Amino acid sequence: MGVDWGNLDYLIIDLPPGTADAQQIFAKAIPLAGTVLVVTPQDVAHLDAKKAVQMYRRAGVPILGAVENMSGLTCPDCGKRIDLFSRVSDARSIWAMGIEKLGDVPLDPAISQAGDTGRPLLVGHPDSPQSKSFRAIAEKLRLKLEEGAT
Ligand SMILES: [Zn+2]
């Protein structure tokens, strides 16, 4: 590997979706504390995520849970939630495989703006529903990793 990461609390590696070479190499060659899946509320996303669940289970990598991204959109005029995708049937979802839902992240233009400007959403909009969701997800992961480490 040849990289000195120093003394880190956590190293989070963001991988593209799917079960291609990158995921397989990480699952097999690196001692991971766990993996977190990200799914959108679509049947096709859950179908792919199911393959990932099977792959990580075969490789013995703990699955800490999954985050539902693009989990609806809040109408800026009336605050009503708009579902962007047809809902996933429970039986066809990864939730039916015993994967814990860590949280929902609704779509918000502020998230992509934060990516564009480099100013994190949690700094620019700390009280947005998405920031609250990110903090809650991070806290769940912290607790799970602490439990696993003992
Ligand atoms: Zn509206």
- C-alpha 81/C-alpha 1 separation (Å) is 45
Within 10 A of 68 (CB to CB), how many other CB atoms are there?
Answer: 24
The bridge status of strand 101-107 relative to strand 35-39 is unpaired
pLDDT tens across 33-88, in order?
A: 999 999 999 988 999 999 999 999 998 999 999 999 988 888 878 878 888 887 78
93, pLDDT greater than 80: yes
Which pLDDT score, from 0 to 100, does residue 69 have?
A: 92
Q: What is the mean pLDDT of residues 105-116?
A: 85
Contact (Cβ atoms closer than 8 angstroms) between residue 107 and residue 73: yes
DSSP helix/strand/coil, 36: strand
27 vs 48, more confident: 48
User: 56 — phi, psi (to 5°)?
Assistant: -65, -35
Question: Which domains can be identified in the chain, with CATH numbers?
Answer: 34-149 (3.40.50.300)
Say how many Å lie between the CA of residue 59 and the centre of ligand 1.
Answer: 46
Say how many Å lie between the CA of residue 81 and the centre of ligand 1.
Answer: 8
Say how many Å lie between the CA of residue 140 and the centre of ligand 1.
Answer: 32
25, pLDDT greater than 90: no
Say how many Å lie between the CA of residue 80 and the centre of ligand 1.
Answer: 6
Say how many Å lie between the CA of residue 15 and the centre of ligand 1.
Answer: 35
Say how many Å lie between the CA of residue 68 and the centre of ligand 1.
Answer: 22
Residue 101's Cα: distance from chain center in Å? 9
Say how many Å lie between the CA of residue 26 and the centre of ligand 1.
Answer: 43
Confidence of residue 149 (pLDDT cuts 50, 70, 90): low
Which pLDDT score, from 0 to 100, does residue 99 have?
A: 96
Contact (Cβ atoms closer than 8 angstroms) between residue 26 and residue 13: yes
Q: What is the mean pLDDT of residues 100-107?
A: 93
